[in-house]
Every structure is written in C-alpha cells, then in structure tokens.
Amino acid sequence: MDAKIEERLFEVVAAMFAAAPTLQLEPRIHAAWRVSMWGGKLLAILEEFGQPDDFVSDSRKSVNENSISMISDPAKFTVWADEISAKFVAEAKRRNIAAADASSSDHVG
C-alpha cells in the first residue's frame, strides 16, 4: 500500500477509535454526524487514490453539503442520514458487497 494512502487511512481510523469513548456519551445524532464526516473523508481518499466513480463523487458531495445540517436543522440531517444509508446499502448490494441491514430501526433520529 502506498505510504500516502496508508497515512490518510490511518488518520481516519485513529480519529474513529479516539472518539469511541465520546460516542458512548453523546447524543445519537452527534455520533451519526461523526460517522458521516469519517465517511466523507474515506470517500475523499477513494477519489484521490482510487478510481472514483459517480457514486463515490456524488456521495462525497452529499456529505459535504448535508452534514452541517446536523447543527442548523437536525430533522433534515436525520432524513439525509437515512437516505444516504439506504443508498449505500443499495450500492453495496449492486456491487455484491456485504452490507448492513438498512432497517428502519437503524435510523439516527
């Protein structure tokens, strides 16, 4: 693995693990926001080092455009989080990748 890719991936993974204690204490919507931000960073890495496709690029743009709504409009963020989750599950199935169950019990609100 290229050292630059490894460094960028490690940065995201380290942030995820470092936040684990906080995630247990903060409201669920804040945890969902953190996950979306980490997802956006991983999508940016895919764009930079991989062979980005429309789904990856569109998803990263969606994260950038919608994640701030967690502060300004939490209800809007919750709807967006549910929608992007469903899109990733559908895309993972299309790509034949094991995906988490997208049942309504998993929604952030």
Tell me the pLDDT tens digit for each residue of 24-68.
999 999 999 999 999 999 999 999 998 779 999 999 999 999 999
Q: Answer yes or no: are the C-beta atoms of 90 and 82 closer than 8 Å.
A: no
- Cβ within 8 Å of residue 106, ≥6 positions away: 85, 100
Number of other CB atoms surrounding residue 69 within 10 Å: 17
Q: How confident is the model at residue 96 (pLDDT cuts 50, 70, 90)?
A: confident
Q: Answer yes or no: are the C-beta atoms of 48 and 33 closer than 8 Å.
A: no
For residue 2, the model assigns a pLDDT of 87
Strand, coil or helix: what is 15?
helix
Residue type, 86: A
Identify each DSSP E strand in 5-78 by its residue range.
none
Q: How confident is the model at residue 97 (pLDDT cuts 50, 70, 90)?
A: confident
Q: How confident is the model at residue 102 (pLDDT cuts 50, 70, 90)?
A: very low
